Amino acid sequence: MKEVQDHFFKLAKEEGYRARSAYKLTELDDRFKLMRVGSRVLDLGACPGSWIQVAAERVGDRGVVVAIDLKAIDKRGFGPNVHLIEGDINELTREHLPYAMEGKLFDTVISDMGPDTSGVPMADSARSVQLCHAMLDRLPFLLRTGGHATMKVYEGADYPALVRRAQMVFTEAKGYKPSASRAESVEMFIVCRGYRGPKDTGPGPRDPSLPQRAPSKGWNS
């Protein structure tokens, strides 16, 4: 399997992608048609930017890509239709979205967010699931009715409940593991199509025992 991983790493270098994770989104989009030319895409957990590169290629000059991460993203190489924001998904509101959106909702939300891992699989999975619920909580002011989404999650005890919630929010939702993911990795991507709209499907579970993120230092775009 290491030879396969080396393949994606080398391919990313050859084709100018910032990380091998570009091929995960490429496969997800090829298979599930999440984006199209002219789409408005929100990329959560976007650093270092390989998913931005793929999304920008897929939507073209007529589309818009808004990318958010806690870390600053190097803007070199991105076109004028890419907007970078430094901030925390847990504090995201409509007001943080750039003027370029002109009040429009996104056609697609993609998330490669992951928590800082602790080495304790159960805890890491729980934190990952919480990030996914944070995304789902905000879809009413982010994603248009009929839009699509995909989000990375670490499988664990809370994973099935997350999939069930996604199936309530979308007409289709299921887990998928791209070939570029490591075989031993517990990461899974929940692919969601056909957002039902801002109807009340209930908030995601909140576990007060989970460590909370420190407040962000503010939002920068």
Q: Which residues are catalytic?
A: 152
23 bridge partner residues: none
Residue with tokens 């069930």: 164
Cα(141)–Cα(197) distance, rounded to whole angstroms? Answer: 10
What is the b/e burial string over 138-151, where b = at least 16 CB atoms within 10 angstroms of the residue's CB? bbbebbeeebbbbb
Residue 47's nearest CA partner among 66, 78, 73, 24 is 73
Cα(110)–Cα(44) distance, rounded to whole angstroms? Answer: 6
Residues 6+ apart with CB under 8 A from 58: 29, 35, 36, 37, 39, 41
